[in-house]
Amino acid sequence: MAEGVFAPNWESLKQYQVPEWFRNAKFGIWAHWGPQCVEGSGDWMARSLYQEGSHQYKYHVQHYGHPSEVGFKDIIPLWKAEKWDPDKLIALYKKVGAQYFFALGNHHDNMDLWNSQYQPWNSVNMGPEQDILAGWEKAARKHGLPFGISFHADHAWSWYEPSQRHDKEGPKAGVPYDGKLTKADGKGKWWEGYDPQELYAQNHPLSQDSWDNGAIHRQWAWGNGVCQPTQEYCTNFYNRTLDAINRYNPDLIYFDVTGVPFYPISDGGLKIAAHFYNHNMATHKGKLEAVMFGKILDEDQRKALVWDVERGAPDKASSNHGSRALALATGTTIPLFMRTTVINRPQVW
């Protein structure tokens, strides 16, 4: 963790001040693009394909195969990115008015979209065989757009739990899906040498109501019957995130979490926040120019991070500094996410 002004606790992180450049930014574009786009059935398809009876399950079985034989791991090689032109796309985003740009670093499916030091299931080793973040970052810098990365893989632990299950009905009833496969099972397969548990992370008991999307949302802050992740799992996500921060020097980071990743069961997310702020100051001559988003924040946490309100708006005015983000398109087959940003200034609320 980078040393500096910020320590990994909420009191220290409350020193944060939103940088002026972001206070003046009104519109950004997020390319929520990764292997989940292959099937075109939503950004949660890597979970939903294991939920018997869902439209994603039915589509997957019809077009790719049964999840006991063809799971999400087998979708990854189909994502080729052969027509991807980040320079052309970023130029377009800037032309239509984007003032900053976000790329997907990893989604809940747990694949890293860079040459990850700590996750073998990454876009350089398989799929496009390209460093996707490096391509986006280079193009964003060329066109003068602040560069952001979103990280979502901390929840793969519980999010992938349906992959441990099996059909209850039909010809495959009782046949396990591929969520418990190990490295030894890959002999002679395309993924020989890779451990599916480094992707699926399912060597643990199921959470309460693990099949239910409503339950997983109630468990998002690591309570309400969720099977809590191991320290090894938390440390792996921490290492992966710092790896990306140190490689690509993002100006913005987004976490799809309550507070920070793994809070309150681990201090890993607080360490990431402190590292990001200190690292940013070290690369900006002592001036903090970083923006870090959290999705569900209490009043104190909104002083330490920028509050993201997804597909909505704040329900009341607040005197805390920060921003409000509105997702205009999310959770669809559209690979681009757009966000407008309105800074919370007490005099205009």
**pLDDT score at 1:** 84
Compute CA 192 distance to the chain's CA centroid, rounded to the nearest angstrom: 26
**pLDDT score at 318:** 52
Domain ranges of the chain: 10-343
**pLDDT score at 26:** 87
The pLDDT tens digits for 161-187 are: 999 999 999 999 999 999 999 999 999
**What superfamily in CATH does domain 10-343 come from?**
Glycosidases (3.20.20.80)
**pLDDT score at 308:** 84
| Contact (CB, 8 A) for 31 and 336 | yes
Interior angle at CA 191, CA 333 and CA 173, nearest 5: 70
| Contact (CB, 8 A) for 199 and 121 | yes
**pLDDT score at 310:** 74
Compute CA 93 distance to the chain's CA centroid, rounded to the nearest angstrom: 21
Alpha-carbon gap, residue 35 to 230, rounded angstroms: 26
Q: Is 122 helix (H, G, I), strand (E, B) or coil?
A: strand
Give me the residues of the chain with pLDDT under 50, please: 319-349
Please tell me the pTM assigned to this model.
0.92
**pLDDT score at 160:** 99
Please give the full DSSP string across 153-169, using - where no structure is assigned.
GGGHHHHTGGGG-BBSS
**pLDDT score at 344:** 35
Alpha-carbon gap, residue 254 to 290, rounded angstroms: 11
